[in-house]
């Protein structure tokens, strides 16, 4: 039980609960102090926020970045067609899009997506906005989704969380299995079990190495089907996640795999 002590700048200030009257002057300030700091209003608010994150760590939507797509309009109306496949549009992230790109903690990345998809808002507490330029934990860069096809998100992790080697390559961190063991919960939205990994592979594009994953996750918050692609560059590891439920996967598997293959940093 919290002990609340009332104090006033006026030594003669007193109150009576029986008469509901007070001898405090009008402008006297009453201050509350809590013998248990955990029960202060600020701590209670923080606890409720963390509880909400635990229930749905990758699905909150709050303040949007100052970008045209944050209005959740179809990306086909604002993004150019993909040069490689006109059925898609191409998203090229820039410093206008996220706090980490503006801080230089993440290198620009790009991927294709169908023109009917929409960019969704990322909660400020998940965006890394509060901790740039020195975030200790992974954050969500951008998110896009289509109710009929699925959703994608870009997650960035500080390199130092995974290795002590500055500017490390993804191979320096370890095997594909070792990397996904650390970042798996950011794919699923809750927990990751190594038994859920159906396939992993290594892809070399130019001088950049990518780890690719096929993960079957029946209890994941993001969906029962997840594809992921990761690489390391600069100060961070960037993870591209494609997710779908059974119905979305059945109708859009080919499209979702094309989106995964298009991801570049």
Determine which of 24-33, 75-84, 99-108, 204-213 has the lowest per-residue pLDDT on average. Answer: 24-33
The pLDDT of residue 71 is: 57
Q: What is the pLDDT of residue 72?
A: 77
Residue 74 neighbours by CB under 8 Å, 6+ apart: 115, 116, 117, 118
Given this model, what pLDDT does residue 159 score?
93
**214-241 pLDDT, tens per residue?**
999 988 999 999 999 999 999 999 999 9
Instruction: Identify the H or E element spanning 175.
Output: none
Tell me which residue of 102, 86, 92 sits closest to 69, measured CA to CA: 92
Q: What whole-number distance in Å separates Cα of residue 162 and Cα of residue 159?
A: 5
> Is the confidence at residue 179, as pLDDT, over 90?
yes
**pTM for the complete prediction?**
0.73
DSSP conformation letters of 92-150: E--TTT-HHHHHTSS---EEEE-TT-EEE---HHHHTTTTTTS-SS-EEEEEEEETTTE
81 vs 72, higher pLDDT: 81
Would the pLDDT of 59 be above 70? no
85 pLDDT higher than 60? yes
Q: How does DSSP assign 67-92, residue by residue?
A: SGGGG--BGGGTSPBPSS-TTSEEEE
pLDDT at 125: 84
pLDDT at 36 over 70: no
- Confidence tier at 12 by pLDDT (50, 70, 90): very low
| pLDDT tens column, 140-165 | 999 999 999 999 999 999 999 999 99
Domain definitions of the chain by residue range: 75-262
Task: Please give the average per-residue pLDDT across 42-49, as a whole number.
Answer: 42
Give the pLDDT mean for 76-93: 96
Which class in CATH covers the domain with range 75-262? alpha beta
pLDDT band at 25 (very low <50, low <70, confident <90, very high): very low
What is d(CA 3, CA 236) in angstroms, rounded to the nearest whole number? 46
Q: What is the mean pLDDT of the chain?
A: 80
φ, ψ at 226 (rounded to 5°): -135, 135
Q: How many whole angstroms separate alpha carbon 200 and alpha carbon 185?
A: 16
Prior bond to 133 cis, omega within 30?
Answer: yes
Q: Is the pLDDT of residue 27 over 90?
A: no
Partnered with residue 59 across adjacent β-strands are none
- State percent of the chain over pLDDT 90: 60
Nearest to 201 by CA among 261, 113, 138, 140: 261
Residue 106: partners with Cβ closer than 8 Å, 6 or more residues away: 98, 100, 141, 156, 234, 235, 236, 238
Q: Residue 259: what are its φ and ψ, rounded to 5°? A: -65, -45
């Amino acid at each position: 039980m919290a002990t609340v002590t009332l104090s006033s700048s006026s030594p003669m200030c007193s109150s009576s609960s029986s008469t509901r009257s007070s001898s405090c002057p009008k402008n006297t300030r009453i201050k509350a102090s809590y013998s248990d700091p955990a029960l202060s209003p600020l701590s209670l608010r923080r606890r409720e926020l963390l509880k909400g994150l635990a229930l749905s760590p990758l699905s909150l939507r709050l303040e949007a970045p100052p970008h045209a797509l944050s209005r959740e309009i179809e990306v086909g109306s604002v993004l150019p067609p993909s040069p490689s496949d006109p059925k898609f549009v191409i998203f090229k992230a820039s410093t206008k899009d996220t706090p980490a790109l503006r801080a230089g903690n993440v290198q620009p990345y790009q991927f294709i997506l169908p023109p009917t998809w929409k960019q969704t808002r990322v909660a400020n507490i998940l965006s890394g906005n509060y901790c740039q330029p020195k975030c200790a934990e992974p954050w969500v860069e951008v998110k896009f989704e289509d109710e009929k096809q699925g959703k994608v998100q870009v997650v960035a992790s500080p390199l130092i969380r995974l290795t002590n080697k500055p500017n490390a390559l993804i191979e320096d961190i370890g095997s594909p299995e070792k990397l996904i063991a650390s970042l798996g919960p950011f794919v699923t939205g809750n927990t990751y079990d190594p038994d859920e990994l159906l396939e992993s592979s290594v892809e070399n594009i130019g001088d950049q190495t990518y780890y690719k994953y096929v993960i079957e996750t029946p209890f994941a918050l993001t969906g029962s089907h997840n594809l992921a692609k990761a690489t390391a560059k600069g100060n961070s590891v960037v993870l591209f996640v494609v997710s779908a439920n059974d119905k979305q996967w059945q109708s859009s598997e080919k499209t979702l795999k094309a989106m995964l293959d298009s991801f570049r940093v």
